[in-house]
Structure formats: C-alpha cells, structure tokens
Amino acid sequence: MTPGDNRKSLQVFRSALASQGALTRREPGENIVAVRSKLRGRKGPDGGGMNDSGGLNDSGGMNDTGDLKDSGEMNDAEPALVSLAEIREAARLLAPVAVRTPLIPVPGMAPGLLVKPESLQPTGSFKLRGAYTAIKANEAAARQHGVVAHSSGNHGHAVAYAAALLGVHAVVVVPSTAPRVKTSAIESYGAELVTVAPTLQARLAATEELVTRHGYVLIPPFDDRKVIAGQGTIGLEIAADCPQADLVIVPVSGGGLISGIAAAVRALCPAAAVVGVEPELAADARESFYRGERVAWPPADVQRTIADALRVELLGALPFAHIRELVTDIVTVTEDEMLTAVRRLAGQARLVAEPGGAAAVAAWLFRSAELPTATTPVAVLSGGNIDPKLLAEILAAD
C-alpha cells in the first residue's frame, strides 16, 4: 500500500460523510420503525428489496457448500466480500500474538448464553486481531515509513501494541473525548498521540494530513479487508468451538467486527443468524440496515452514549456490503441496559466489560423478543477497557 493509496482511501471516506447521494442523513425526529415499514419492498441499489424479516433481498449469498459467493472482483458499487481464505490467513498471522478466547457459559442467563470475552486480549479488546493483521500484511512499508491510525480508543491501543511488537513507529489520532484509560495505554507503547475534535471528519482530516506529510501506512479501524479478516478470526473460533451455535450477537460501531464474524460464521455455520447491536443513542448502523443505504448520524448525537467504543457516525462501505448480505438484523439497547450487562458480567461471569463491549449481552438480556429464536446463542464481549472509577460506580449502583 502506497501513501497515494492511503490518501485515496481517506478521501473516499471523507467524501462519503459529506455526500447526499451515496448515503443519507437522518432527519430529526424520524421514526426508524416507520422507516422500516416504508422500505419493505423498496428496491435497493442492486435491485433487491427488503423481505418480511427486515433483511435485504439480493441475488448474492451462499452457495450449496456454505461458501460465500463472489466474483473476486471489487468495484465501487459492490465490493467483494472478505473470503474464508483471507480470514484463515489472518488466523495464521495472529497465532503467536492473539489469545484464542474461550466460550464461557454465564450462569443465570438462560437458556445457556455463551460469551466470547475479547476483553481477555492483551490490549483488552478484539481490535488487536485486525490491527496486527493489517500491519503485518504491510510490514515492509510499515517498517520503512511508520503507521498511522485514527480511533475512538481501542483500535489505537491495538495499533500501538502491534506496532511495538513489530518494531514500527506508530501515530494514533483520537478524539478529545477518548477515555484516559485508553489514551494512556496508547502512549505506554511508545506511540505518538494526536488529539482532535470528537468527530469522524476531524479524525479523517488529521490522518490524511499525516499520511500526506510523512508517508505513513494507514491502518484503518474498520473499512479495510485485512482488518475485517483479522476480526473474522473470532468467527472461525466460534464455529470451531461451538459448531451448533445458531445465533451470534455482535456489537456494531464502524462495522468491521460484525463483518468479519459474519463472513466466517455464515460460511462455516450457514444456518446461524448473526445480529448486530448498537446503543439507541448511536444507531446509525441499524438505520442504514433498514434503509438499505449508509446513513450518517450527526457527531453530537453519537457522542451522547456512554459506550465510547461505539461512537461512530457512519458505517464503512466494505462493512456495509457485508452487513447487507450476511447480517440478519441490528437491534438497539439503552444506556441502562448496557450498564446492567456490565454489572451482570462482573457478578455472574467475573468478566470486566466496558459499556459498548457489553452491548451484545445487553441485547440477549433485554431484547430477546427482537432476536431470532436460538438454543445455542453466543454473545461477543468486544472489550473491557473501562475506567476503574466508572466500573466502580456501575457496580455500586446494583
């Protein structure tokens, strides 16, 4: 990947944020339930519409062997989905670095919820998988030029850690609202920290300037094939450890995590449903899913949620392609529901979760009526990088 490629990628994403054609902006007060009803039967960009279960109809999907169908080509309209082979290659790269997290049963969360605690990774979240895979795939250029990433916190932490392992200089752009527990971790690995306004536009602009000025290799947080492949190794492990899993619940931010997991799970366990979860206060992915096009939420809106890891205004284009084809539904949870899930995980499973990391468990606890029926559900605990003071306050509120 060249600096020119990096700049082009950033410019495309920034253009999408400002575009009124490639994506939609939410109208104040517009009811998402009404939007979903209105969009049933509406034709999407590929000629598909929305089916009775709220999913998008299209001609793609799985073949008879459970493999993802794609032509291997990529264009602006229909990016090729990340393949099982790419995810398996990522697993090979990650073997000496990432923890193969177990599936842990949580007592009292009937009927037998299994939790995949990515909080047990060395950096406290799933982000290590994608960050290390992307840097390792561009190792020669990364060693020569250094790397840059923008992040709400966890991706930056993972990039800093992975870069330190590989002897690569790293620069991380974070919003001013990033929790100190995350920014301190970034700096502890020797990465350079750049703080900007708490908007995706500001992060993208600063990153683009750094790429232009220094030639750094860009390590995107979610809209990248290598990153998605790395996150997809979670799905490989779920399929291997629990092939009977019939529901996998995943927090959604920029979409890289659910994209990779869905690509692996739907290929290896075709009957399983994959459902995303967002905070009600930052539900751009859910709205995008129902509209059939990416919807950008105002930065001030997504900043309201306590789930700092899920404060992204717009899904990536490549993640959205995966979500449209492979994800069954996206549901939302409230702030209180996420905090309750944090308490339940600490008390019943002895697992530390940040609010966004607990979103999938919150959905199982409080949104079961909106989820597909399942006998072997799995919830991904995506991260546990929570400020100790906030954790103490959450636990004391029980």
- Band of the pLDDT at 292, cuts 50, 70, 90? very high
CA of 346: how far to CAs of 118, 341, 360, 365, in Å? 14, 8, 15, 15
Question: Residue 361 belongs to what H/E stretch?
Answer: helix 359-366
Say which DSSP state 103 is in.
P
Last residue of a domain, one of 196, 218, 240: 218
- Whether 99 and 106 have beta carbons less than 8 Å apart is answered as no
3-state secondary structure of 26: coil
Examine the pLDDT at 33 and tell me if it is beyond 50. Answer: no
Mean pLDDT calculated for residue range 216-225: 96
Return d(Cα 105, Cα 297) in angstroms, integer. 36
- Does 356 lie in the same domain as 287? yes
Reported as a single tens digit per residue, the pLDDT across 141-168 is 999 999 999 998 999 999 999 999 999 9
Q: Could you report the per-residue pLDDT of 43-99, keeping only the tens digit for each?
A: 333 333 334 333 333 333 444 333 433 333 334 456 799 999 999 999 999 999 999
Query: pLDDT value at position 108?
Result: 80
Per-residue pLDDT, 323: 98
Q: For residue 387, how many C-alpha atoms fall within 13 Å in the half-sphere facing its CB?
A: 14
Q: Which residue has the higher pLDDT, 33 or 300?
A: 300
Of the candidates 347, 370, 317, which has an alpha carbon nearest to the alpha carbon of residue 109? 347
Domain containing residue 353: 30-124+225-396
Mean pLDDT over 360-372 rounds to 96
- Which of the four pLDDT bands, split at 50, 70 and 90, describes residue 200? confident
| Residue where a domain stops, chosen among 187, 218, 249 | 218
Q: What is the pLDDT of residue 111?
A: 67
pTM of the model: 0.83
Decide if 76 is inside a domain: yes
Whether residues 344 and 385 share a domain: the answer is yes
Which is more confidently placed, 25 or 170?
170
205 assigned to some structural domain: yes
Whether residues 169 and 207 fall in one domain: yes
The answer, yes or no, to whether residue 110 has pLDDT greater than 90, is no
Does 17 map to a domain?
no
pLDDT, residue 107, reads 84
Q: Do the domain assignments include residue 18?
A: no
Work out how many domains the chain is built from and give that number: 2
pLDDT at 377 over 50: yes
Query: What pLDDT, on the 0 to 100 scale, is given for residue 15?
Result: 52
Average pLDDT of every residue of the chain = 86
Out of 199, 218, 237, pick the residue that ends a domain. Answer: 218
Q: Tell whether the model's pLDDT for residue 305 goes beyond 70.
A: yes
18-23: average pLDDT: 44
What CATH number does residue 388 fall under? 3.40.50.1100
Tally of residues, the chain: 398
Sort strands 104-105 and 23-25 into parallel, antiparallel or unpaired.
unpaired
Beta-carbon count within 10 A of 329 CB: 18
Give CA–CA dist 367/283, Å, rounded.
15
310 with 387, same domain: the answer is: yes
pLDDT in tens, 334-359: 999 999 999 999 999 999 999 999 99
Q: What is the mean pLDDT of residues 92-107?
A: 96
Range from 14-28, 203-217, 245-259, 370-384 carrying the lowest mean pLDDT:
14-28
Cross-strand bridge partners of residue 332: 278
CA 119 to chain centre: 14
Residue 22, domain member (yes or no): no
Do 369 and 309 share a structural domain? yes
Could you tell me which residue, 131 or 31, shows the higher pLDDT? 131
21, part of any domain: no
